[in-house]
Amino acid sequence: MSTHILAGECAPESVLIDTVLLERCYFENVPDVKYPEQRVIFGTSGHRGDAFDVSFTESHILAIVQAICDYRSGKGYAGPLFLGKDTHFLSGLAERNALEVLAANDVQVFYQVDDGFTPTPVISWSILKHNSSSVSVSDGIVITPSHNPPSDGGIKYNPPNGGPADTDVTGWIQDRANAYLSARLGGVKRLTYEAAVAKSSVKAIDFAGDYVADLRNIIDMKLIADKGIRIGVDPLGGAGFAYWDKIAAEYGLNITVVNRSLDPRFSFMTLDHDGKIRMDCSSQYAMRRLVDLKDKFDIAFANDPDADRHGIVVSGLGLMNPNHYLAAAIQYLFTNRSGWSRLVGVGKTLVSSGMIDRVVGLLGVKLVEVPVGFKWFVDGLFTGKLGFCGEESAGASFLRFDGKVWSTDKDGIIMNLLAAEIFAKTGDSPAKIYSNLESQFGKSFYTRIDQPATPQQKAAFKGLTPEQVRISNLAGDRIVGKLTNAPGNGALIGGLKVVTESGWFAVRPSGTENIYKIYAESFKNENHLNQIIDEAKQIVENIKCK
């Protein structure tokens, strides 16, 4: 994947969004469902789009939220709906529309006071807290396109289990919303914004206080404070912005927030690998400002705009590879959480590093490997059967000290604080723990690349079978597994994974772009990794040509 000449450099004025034009497009552009790209499409984490290309507009939000109201009404959910948003420009507009529809449907709604922002994990935590002590059933909506560029918008639904909705739920909501779009929003109930927020069923609250106070039950906050760990935080202008000062005050932590900018254009960002503004806390280019400060702190970290992803920066090294941190976190947690049952396992996506498999094998716990998407982990976290769940794109969550559920969605805040706990407990960074793992298991060489694919070629991935891979060796090693279903739950992966003792590759189509993704890893060397990639491309080409 080529790197843009300005990657890692400050965003120039020429790439900043025109918020006036974006707002006009949001309200004036009307989607036409005869064009697939303008329909409601729920991917691995909700519906995402752009007002400029008519894939995220007022019409989309009104239709989606009405569909959610219909769904929860049909299920008999009578508890409050927790509504959160991040700092993307379109998120504020979409929240207003969501409140108009929710209030018109007489849904009890809690949203952040003072037009504030709420991280995704806080919505998950709030749903679980309510449902653990009430007979009325609660659920939630988060308005966010995650780390996507500033012009994007997104919305996702979290049912009563607190996590991302499963495909049966999102499929129902998607179809219902598209029916409303086809009917030109006929049947959608809506009040004015002023009338909506004036209703007694709509209440502005501060989500942060209770969540922050509960952190002591999942992270050893006292140890971090007692050790005086010097912590640097860059919220990347996201929803976690207001949380770090509250965390520092609650627990007496030595936290320095190095970036206090809030700008819906995200003009303070450095450009990502492709020259776009993208608030990706796992990208060395987007994280350039914090990486430059790495030696000023014992540990530093950032979150994406809805704070469900983490980026860990350590002195001397810089930004940790997300896969490396997942492996280090698993090793630490399963040797430092005495309140967890011996039976709890580890969940990983099948495109995450094989180093996790090796660590889990050494620990002697169960590994549950699932397709891409955090929704596959929800039940394991909810029931306490999985102690830690993580995915290669820097999203993870884990259980409380007592082995009970904390969140069933990704929580970048606790993953960041865990890095500080690791430093306080061991005197070493998570990078040092990972280095020790490499000494035991060998060095991992991992990459992900994107390849062009037509919609027809992307569709062909869904019909792949292991029998279509007729070779018995990959990059000189005997193939020990050809997978089109995830071994952890039997679900279709929408692609293919081929495994040897010293490496693997996986291919799957993008849900939103005309590309397919190749993930690959070698435990030999860089040349071996490149050989795996070359042979993976050939295997895919052979399959596509048949």
Q: Provide the residue type at 397 as one letter.
A: S
Are the C-beta atoms of 470 and 478 separated by less than 8 Å? no
Q: Of 175, 231, 395, 216, which Cα lies nearest the Cα of 306?
A: 395
Alpha-carbon torsion 32, 34, 36, 42, what sign? positive
- Report the b/e string of 374-402 with b at 16+ CB within 10 A: bbbbbbbbbebbbbbbbbbbbbbbbbbbe
Are the C-beta atoms of 303 and 409 separated by less than 8 Å? no
Kindly list the catalytic residues: 146
**Separation between Cα atoms, residue 173 and residue 245, nearest integer Å:** 37
String of DSSP letters for 502-513 = SEEEEEEE-SSS
Query: What does R_g of the chain's alpha carbons equal in angstroms?
Result: 23
Partners of 233 in beta bridges: 257, 301
Phi, psi of 187 (to 5 degrees): 95, -10
CB atoms within 10 A of CB 37: 12
> 3-class DSSP state for residue 498?
strand
**Separation between Cα atoms, residue 323 and residue 333, nearest integer Å:** 15
3-state helix/strand/coil string of 157-221: EECCCCCCCCHHHHHHHHHHHHHHHHCCCCCCCCCCHHHHHHCCCEEEECCHHHHHHHHHHCCCH
**Separation between Cα atoms, residue 168 and residue 359, nearest integer Å:** 33
